[in-house]
Structure 1
Amino acid sequence: MRRDLPYALGGLALGVLLLGNAVLTPDAATVEVLDVALVLAMAVGLAACRRYPVVALGVVTVAMLAVHIRVHPGVSAAFPVLGAVYVTAWQGHRSAAAVASLTFLGSFLARDVSMAPAGRPGQLVAERTALLLGWFVAANVAGLVARQRRAYLEQVEQRAIEAERTREEVALRRAGEERLRIARDLHDSLTHSISVIKVQAGIAVHLARKHGEEPSAMLLAIQEASGAAMRELRTTLDVLRTPTDADRVGLARVDELAERTRAAGVPVRVTVTGERADLPDEVDQAGYRVVQEALTNVARHAGPATAHIRVEYAPAELTVAITDDGQPSPAEPVTPGVGLRGMRERVSALGGTLRAAAHDDHGFTVRATFPLNDPR
């Protein structure tokens, strides 16, 4: 309805102009109630011109011809018809616009000829013909140009949408090819190395038990860690090859991480506060990877230490913190590496923040906070 309002207001304005011109024109007849009704019908027709252009054009043409025959207000009777012709041509009804133009123009001029003063009918007809013919040709041409311009803009927009979709498809295809390349590289390099470690550790455990000896805790930890690394590597390869079907890791498996770290000789405590919630998959995986990388750093750099994992669930955010009380070796100072940068990038991509800092006396803390209502 709001789109029809300008047409309705335009019809009323033209009706007022038409009636005012009829009152002021010396040779015009007296305006009666029927003439006002015809003007109102014209206004209603213009109001419906956008949705029903052909019907509205017919109503406006007939109403204005009737007003012209009854009142003879002059060329102002052609203004509503010109507007309806323009809208009809713009909507694509060229034939209807042309027929209405010829009908109104012929009837208008026929009435002028019949009512022209004796002695100069040819001059009057020529003037009106030149004036109205130019207006109606301009209205038809303007409507066709406007329609062609709209079609051109729609075509340009469609091409832009198609180009954007093509770019997205190319990007997705390249991303898929890159995932497959990374999966092949990981399979060809890491899978072989980890398999060798796992096999060698298993052989060492088997030989120790064969000779009646109990395998050392470190050897068992190596065997367990290599097996876990192999499973996670297979999961990663599945994610790279078929990311929608792969099993995902999450904070529900933090206890497994803690157990493997204890087997490697690092005592670990796990504290979970708040009510466990169903986390988004990306946040759940990112929290797990932060804990995994932090525990790896503790085992590698902290020396004799105890680690404490804290997982805090809140309605608006998730917090994962890993604290240790170790003392790094002076010969191998801790410097930011690829693992820490990877953690920070992973957390930042989800709208979170990560803080990693050493304590004043000894120990290190990694704290990651993920918003659970972030629009990204």
Structure 2
Amino acid sequence: MVTGAGLRRRLPRGRVADATLACAVFLPVALGSLWSLLGPRHEPWAVTAVGWALITGACGALYWARRAPVAVAAFVLAATAAYYLSSDYDGPLLLVFIVALYVVAATGHQRAAPLLAAVALVGTAAGTLGGNHDVNGVALFMLAGWLVATVALGRLRHGRLAFAREAEQRAATEERLRIARELHDVVGHHISLINVQSAAALRRLRKDPEGGAERADAALDAIKQSSKEALRELRATLGVLRQADEAAPTAPVPGLDRLGDLVDAARLAGLQVRVRTSGETGPLPTEVDLAAYRIVQESLTNVARHAHAGTVTVHVAHAPGQVTVEITDDGRGPTAGPGSGISGMRERARALGGELTAGPAPGRGFTVRARLPYRNGVPTPS
């Protein structure tokens, strides 16, 4: 069974589509005008030849309808008027103008489409008043309905295409922001720890060139582990940008079950980290688990870089339908700095229908608190 998307992929595109449109319209118009060649003669053959030239020219102009819709519609209207004024055979050439008018409206020319329709209607009415008995009042009324419907359908098509483009752009923007948050959290966290640990190793070597190498060994080992972990998570994150024929990443999505890794890395950076868990623990939805992990990760990174703190407390509270993470340090000031990522953490919480607050803790330090709700194992939509 062919789906709508599959059918759209099979339809002709570009110049082939333009040529197909012109030929598809020419076929019924030519069939409807054959009686001017095969039927009784009502006009000289020269006039009939001019009429067929106008038919061919009007249908052929549709080849350029998408590139110059207003000019093509105006030309088709003029050719149609010349045909009906000169020929005694009333063929279906008006169909070409209807198609050209639809293209004008569908391509977003909101003023030109009604104007062309009005010119066509006024011209037909003038011909009727001038003695053309082939078009009476009923036919004129029906023509007005056809023209209005054509313009309306073209505008509807233009609106749907514009909405689809906006939805695609919005989805692309949201995907870029999501990838940017992941890269910021993964790279920023590990690079910050590497920076802190390498600075500590340098200080030890400079203070004690002879014996500092042994004490710097732990920091260098931590740098190695942090860089290895950064590369692993970076490969997993960039997996969303892989092509369809490439192997997908097999590493599991990080969650609160890996909170110990974050604590160990922060301790190697010189922080004393205490972890408290309350409530009945259980499996969390993947999106909630990842968001909680990233918020703790980014908060510990900010403490290591900006807070000048010695102790950090991480509290994970489980409750029915939600999980709350709270990170509090005893630093001398706020953990926010240039590129601190607090806005990214807040976006993560809001995307799940939750909230995140960040501000000074009572007395001293800084607190980040995020509430992440979910329902029946599914994150609550924002």
User: What's the TM-score bracket when you normalise by the shorter of the two chains?
Assistant: 0.3 to 0.5
TM-score using structure 2 length = 0.47
TM-score using structure 1 length = 0.47
